[in-house]
Amino acid sequence: MWPRVGTLVQVENLTDEQLWRAIAQNTNAMSALAHQQLELTAVNTVSDSIRQAKLRESNAERIDKLARNYREYTGELRRRYSLQSEQSANLTATVTAA
């Protein structure tokens, strides 16, 4: 099962495919929230203004959380592929030396 958007998971336990899917889901969710933020700029009344200010604040918090998850997911992929590159380089050096 894929991680739900915005949920905390142990990224080390996810497959590459799950990480890529989570990145895509987070990107889509952040884009939708950013669009909503832009739409909230059209304020009609004072009560709308207060309600929209609260919604903007809530959206900003959710965007921050999604951005943290995004950085965590991409960081894990970078770590994995960095390790693979190092292992490949070490294997090549060992084979060349032999």
Which residue type is seen at 38?
Answer: L
Residue 81 token pair: 């592929």
Residue with tokens 């990480």: 19
In terms of residue numbers, what domain contains 57? 17-97
* Cβ-contact 57, 1 below 8 angstroms: no
> Does the residue 21 lie in any domain?
yes
How many C-beta atoms surround the C-beta of residue 44 within 10 A?
A: 8
Instruction: State residue 2's pLDDT score.
Output: 47
For the chain, where are the E strands, in sequence order? none
* 3 in any annotated domain: no
Residue among 22, 55, 23, 19 nearest 36 (CA): 55
66 found inside a domain: yes
Low-confidence ranges of the chain (pLDDT < 70): 1-9, 42-44, 89-98
**Residue 18's closest CA among 77, 84, 82, 78?**
77
Any domain includes 72 = yes
| pLDDT at 52 (0 to 100) | 85
pLDDT of residue 95: 63
